[in-house]
Amino acid sequence: MTLKEILADPSISYWLKDAVKTAYEQDPVDALRDARRLLKMLGERYTQIVNGDLAQRINQSLPSKSFPIESMMLY
């Protein structure tokens, strides 16, 4: 996609459009390096959120501490 197409696309957020415009004003090597850093940071944040949500779901499915584990066993 060209810069003009990106800026005209209504499905692209204003945040991303602003970031792309800013990146086009920078040295391409620096912009690429920054984009890779941003991708890494967002990927790590996503992983933390997903893992945290998964851990929370696992904790919610475990028996509470007030119930003996034997009461959860099927015979």
**Residue 67: per-residue pLDDT:** 47
Judge whether 50 lies within some domain.
yes
What is the chain's mean pLDDT, rounded?
Answer: 82
Total structural domains in the chain? Answer: 1
Confidence of residue 51 (pLDDT cuts 50, 70, 90): confident
Residue 64, domain member (yes or no):
no
> Minimal CA–CA distance to 38: which of 12, 20, 14?
20
pLDDT at 5 > cutoff 50 = yes
For the residues of 28-49, what is the DSSP string, one character each? HHHHHHHHHHHHHHHHHHHHHH
Residue with tokens 């929370």: 56
**Does any domain span residue 54?**
yes
The DSSP call for residue 63 is P
For the stretch 10-39, pLDDT in tens is 999 999 999 999 999 999 999 999 999 999
At 55, the amino acid letter reads A
Residue 42 lies in a domain: yes
CA dihedral of residues 51, 49, 44, 25 (deg, nearest 10):
160
Which pTM value belongs to this model?
0.62
Domain that holds residue 52: 28-59
